[in-house]
Each structure stands twice: as C-alpha cells, then as structure tokens.
Structure 1
C-alpha cells in the first residue's frame, strides 16, 4: 500500500533543533502525517519516519526568475468576454495597462488567459484565442515590463504564439492532457510549465464530480503528469503544480484539499494555488457577487501560506500583496 507523507507545517522563529526545513522556504516541520488509502491517518515525529522526506526538504530552484524563499503572487489577466468574475473587463491597450498596474502592486508574474475556464464554458477556437492573448503580451513587453508572463492555455499553437510574443511560462489547466503537442513545444522552447489537476473539461467538470479519495487522487494525478512531462524533456526544476481548486470539485472536495495542501510538497516542485473569487468562497461567506470575494480570497491564501504554498494566483493583487507583507512580518517573522 502506497504511503503519502504530509508535513505538519509550522512557521515562526521558535523552531526546535530537530525541525526540518520545508522546500527551502519559510516553513518547517517536526512531524508528518502518514496517509494511506482506506486507513486512518497517523501522525509521527519526522525523525521516526522511514519514508523518503527529501522531496519535502529539498530547495526549489528559481523558475522564470521567481525565488521560493518567500511567497509570490501571480496576477490574473483574463482577456475573455465570459470569465466568471471579470469577463469583458480587459482587452487591447486596457489589458496591457492593467498588467502594468498589477506589476506596480507587487505581482511577480502575470497570467494571461484567452479562454474562459468557468464551469460550462465553451472551447475557444485557436485563432480567436491567439488574437486575444498574443497582442496583449506583445503590448506588455513594448511597455517595458519584464515581469514573467504565463500563458493560460491548453493549446500548443496558442502557447507558441504567446511565447513568440514574449511569454515565459505555459500554464495548462488540463494538466497537459488536452493537446499532445503542448508538452513537446514547452520542452523544445525550454519553457517552464504549470501543471494543474482538473476532472473533466470546463464544459462538463461541474457535472457530479466523484473521487475515491480526492486528496490522494489529485496527488497521484499530478505525480503521474509530472513524471510524464519529465519523460518528454521538461525538467522537474521547471515545473509548478496546482491542485486545481474548483475544477471538477465540489465544496467538500475543495475544503478537503485546502485542509491538507502541504501534502503536495511531496511532489518536489513549487505549489501554485488558484482560489481567487471562486464559487466556494461565495458559498462559505455568503457573497454571491464574485467581484466582492477579495477578502475571502485573501483569507484562503494566507491559510495556504501557513502550509508553505509558494505561489498565489489572484485577481486583487494589491489586497494580496499587502496581506502577505503583514503576514510575513507578524507570523513568519520575515520583513518584506
């Protein structure tokens, strides 16, 4: 039976001598939770664990210039007419200006998407998706912004056009299962990637999603996809993993993943968390208007930092960077 090791992450300066550093970041741990399918979890001291904890303790190399010894914020720029909370708000010169503003507010990366991934969204044709994204990326670069840009796409042709226009990273919500040409493209271009878990595609993912064990099923998927990507020539030190909160998951699935996010450090790569303005926040906080879910989004993000998550994807960049600065000073005891 496969065992999974989840570090019980702590932060702060009162650190025991036997504590082990987590992923070269601000967190540390003295105990691990051992998880197995169909068995109750067991917590033991890390010093008594016979399993390989190296994936938990090894440093994470910088990706696209981002270092993981501190939390980073990825700003969301949707150049779509139908995204769930900001559809139609950003296009053309206005989109580039919004990207510039997010950089000023502290975004370490800009994630640009031209195809909505909200539940029920239809697939966008490749020429339309390229027409929405590549010119905006070019305009951002023309404005003198050198902040890393990720292209949020499932399609190799869209990714190629984006990389040609100045993007650095490919962020695929389908976990590189939609277009067989996408991973080879990224390998050929030496482009870092974000690999995300989703059950189903945007058009159908909200239709009664089911798992045997959502935490371990998502972990296994990401582990297998990372192995598949390395087999295709994308080195592990250029991969970021995202558990895909809200993508083919119920409220209970989402909260189960959030409760044990630190498990995903076992993948040996930085973790990206995208919860900004999502429906489960509105459900739990009774906020039906997605644009008003910034405070709830920040609350989830700070809880994730307490589990060592390195990269937070956010619409409201200024809210997140301000909150993270105060979190680091008061909880992690780190100056910004």
Structure 2
C-alpha cells in the first residue's frame, strides 16, 4: 500500500496543476496534472515517430489498476478495468435475476440507472429519495444502486446506513463513486460492487473507469464483454474461442484505451499518494466557506460540491462573466472545490454572485 503524504503536502499536490484559479468544475471534468500532460506529449511524439509501445501501455494499465485499488482500499485483484460507467453498470445489471427488484435513488445520474431500467427480463426498478434509500430497502430488494455523491445536488448519501439496511434485508449494494473518489475517502470493500470514472475528481483523461467486485458477487456476473484483455494471460488470449478467462475481477476487463491510460497513470498516482483525510478537509472546508458567504445551509454530511436553485441560469452567467468555471445541472448552479482551489476561489465566486 502507498504511504499517504502529510496534510501539509497538499500544497505540493496543488503545484502539480498548471491552472486552477477560478476553476470550480471538477465535478464536470478534472484538470490535467502536469505529469499527465507531459506523459501524453511524450507518447504522442513517440507514436508519431513510429515508436508506439503496446507492452509499455499494458504496464501503465496495470499500474493504474493498482493505484485505484490503493485509493479505494481493496486489493488489485478485485478491480476490473473499463471505459465508461454505463458499460460497467450494464455488467452488474446482467447479474440481476429475472423479475428481481432494483432500488435506485431519485434523480441519480442516468448512467447508473438506465442499464437497470432497460435490462428487460421483468426486472423492476423502484425509486426512492437518496435520503430515504436505507428505509426503502425491503426483503424484495435484490440490489440497491446509488451514487455516494449525487451529481445534480452534491448530496452525500448515508452509505453506512444503506449498506447496513441492505445487509439486513439480504440485498446487494452497487455504488457509483465517480463524484466522490479524489476528495471523499471511499472504502470500496463496503459495497458488493463499486464503479468510478476517473475523468472528474481524479483528473484523468476520459475513457478510464474501474469496477470493484466482491468475491461473492463476481460469481454472479456474466462476463458478457469479455475480450482478449479478460484472459488469464491477455497476450496469449488474442485468438480463438478457447480462451481461459482470469480467475479474479480482471475477467471483466474491457480492452483498455491505451492512450487514455498514458495520462491516467500519473494522475492516479498523484491521488493515490495523497492524504485522503487532508484532501477531504480541504475541499469540504472551502465549500463550507462558500456556503457561509452565500447563506446556503450546511448539508447533513459535508460535500465539496455546492448547488443552489438557478432555473434561469442567471447565477451561472454571473460566474462565467467573472471568470469562474462552474456548471448548471437540473435547474441548479453547481460549483466544486478541489485540491487545486483555495480561499481566493471562494472569494472570486462569492463576489461574482453577491458582491
């Protein structure tokens, strides 16, 4: 396991980003760290010069897998490599028995919901507010699928209560941690399955996602996307139908987008080496300071994302005019504070809105 760096080194981590001032949109897409930028440039020159290296690409994939495993507290053999949240969610949907019930959070990100909604086979999707998700679990519930941090609102789910209620009812849990890993400490081992796309808070190129699976759920998931990289030995699994799949979670690997991992590996290394508690305190502290300036009530659980009603888009326009990168979702304005932000970003955004 990587030894976390001290909280004081968050300043060093921030120095790994060339930009950041006024950028409050990590919940939409993260900023590329310097090391990722440099690695992508070097690889582009090597490839253009006739020197692409598939073996080196594969090594970066495996190093990225280990970094993500460190980030979420599981062993690397419990991590599968993918490209998109919806594709990995579809794997979990394929494991749901015919006519079973899946409980989802109201207003959750569609990529975590639609694979179950359109799975067919009589699967019933029931919806409940994220704050009441634990109470909505019954003995009829086969799976609870939810984002630990809601994309539209920044609300942090009470994951402990959801997991406890699911265990009591004999249900399984599937967590989307895309809006969490990178600022919120997450223990993937608490869930039967967890998915995370890394292009937001982990600041990797789009096209790198991971799925963690418990040993128990793994045996219920059909490897419907199996290809050569899902083989026990990928480099001898390129031809024929008699390929032996890996015994661990890598049997669910999707053939990796090599160039995306060139940029992802340094970014994941940066966050794997970061003190998770310090990053959480820094990001949520900035968000709390912004809420105080704006008079927005504190949420039940601290979040690095702040949203408020902005149906007309006027507040979003004010932020943009002041040089603040923010986003609008579901009739709300949305800002996000990451490790590369500081108190000046809080002041810049608040001044743009209230003077």
Q: TM-score, normalised by structure 1?
A: 0.28
Kindly indicate whether structure 1 or structure 2 has the higher relative contact order, using CA contacts under 8 Å at least 6 residues apart.
2
Higher helix share: 2
Larger radius of gyration: 2
Q: TM-score, normalised by structure 2?
A: 0.27
